[in-house]
């Protein structure tokens, strides 16, 4: 992405009528869930006048996901193949580059996040109340996560709030919905799970406040295929500090 990290308050963006929601789906070895998540995504009833584009980025899967995706392409679903596994952040950035919507959302393929929550996310933007909306896992109904996962998420949100003078409850949420004009100003570089704090930090550095809505959540554990580890927490912390004090 090209752009600047200089502040541009939300008031500087003219109100607009949104026409298309692009949903970027980074996928790595999710053969058992990708068909179901795409079925749920296609079934969502979006607000009138809002078209749907799904951009699936296969990040070098080796479990047969690639073959499954080849059968799921259609006029709504665009599949982009990465030649090798490069990480969630790299896949998200490639997806952003291929997305053509004026609203862009990230959707994981592991069934932890429910596409039925999309209308709740989109609503504040359609009403002109926000330019960036996050779905918070800590204010809606949820399957409780392990204590260490909860503590790590809460700690990173606290660090974010302290460094960037905000009050987010869930910085690490996958559900980040962004007006394309804001997205195009972010200079994203992260290749792994540190894409989450990088997006947040760069949005806040622009002077754009983030709007939160409650979402449902059904988190997986490691024996069910969860990929993020404690090491990613340190990378996220470093990203928050780095973005706060450098461009």
Confidence of residue 49 (pLDDT cuts 50, 70, 90): very high
Tell me whether residue 13 is in a domain.
Answer: no
Quick one: pLDDT at residue 227?
53
Scan for tokens 């540190």, then name that residue.
194
Tell me whether residue 107 is in a domain.
Answer: yes
* DSSP label of 45: -
**What CATH number does residue 156 fall under?**
3.90.550.10
Tell me whether residue 104 is in a domain.
Answer: yes
pTM metric for this prediction: 0.89
Tell me whether residue 212 is in a domain.
Answer: yes
Task: Please say whether the beta carbons of 52 and 61 come within 8 A.
Answer: no
**pLDDT single digits (tens) 159-205:** 999 999 999 999 999 999 999 999 999 999 999 999 999 999 999 99
The pairing of beta strand 20-27 with beta strand 103-106: parallel
**pLDDT single digits (tens) 99-150:** 999 999 999 999 999 999 999 999 999 999 999 999 999 886 666 666 567 6
Domains contained in the chain, number: 1
Scan for tokens 């990480």, then name that residue.
87
Query: Beta-strand (E) ranges in the chain?
Result: 20-27, 51-58, 77-81, 103-106, 132-136, 142-143, 176-179, 211-214, 217-218
Token pair for residue 187? 């200079």
Res 4 pLDDT > 50: no
What is the domain extent for residue 234?
A: 18-245
CA separation for the pair 32, 65 (Å, rounded) = 8
Angle between helical axes of 195-205 and 147-164 (0-180°, round to 10): 20
How many CB atoms are closer than 10 A to CB 127? 8
Task: Please say whether the beta carbons of 139 and 177 come within 8 A.
Answer: no
């Amino acid at each position: 992405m090209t752009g600047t990290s200089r502040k541009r308050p939300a008031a500087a963006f003219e109100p607009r009528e949104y026409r298309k929601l692009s949903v970027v789906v980074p996928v790595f070895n999710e053969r058992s869930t990708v068909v179901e998540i795409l079925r749920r995504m296609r079934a969502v009833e979006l607000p009138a006048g809002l078209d749907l584009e799904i951009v699936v980025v296969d990040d070098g899967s080796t479990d047969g996901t690639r073959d499954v995706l080849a059968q799921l392409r259609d006029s709504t679903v665009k599949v982009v193949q990465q030649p090798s596994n490069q990480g969630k952040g790299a896949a998200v950035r490639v997806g952003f580059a291929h997305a053509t919507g004026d609203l862009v959302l990230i959707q994981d393929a592991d069934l932890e996040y429910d596409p039925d929550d999309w209308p709740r996310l989109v609503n504040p933007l359609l009403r002109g109340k926000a330019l960036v909306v996050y779905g918070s896992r800590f204010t809606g109904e949820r399957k409780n996560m392990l204590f260490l996962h909860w503590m790590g998420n809460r700690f990173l949100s606290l660090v974010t709030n302290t460094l960037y003078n905000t009050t987010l409850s869930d910085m690490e949420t996958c559900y980040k919905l962004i007006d394309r004009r804001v997205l195009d100003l972010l200079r994203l570089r992260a290749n792994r799970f540190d894409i989450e704090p990088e997006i947040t930090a760069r949005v806040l550095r622009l002077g754009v406040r983030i709007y939160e809505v409650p979402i449902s959540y059904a988190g997986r554990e490691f024996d069910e295929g969860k990929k993020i580890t404690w090491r990613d927490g340190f990378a996220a912390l470093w990203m928050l500090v780095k973005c706060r004090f450098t461009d």
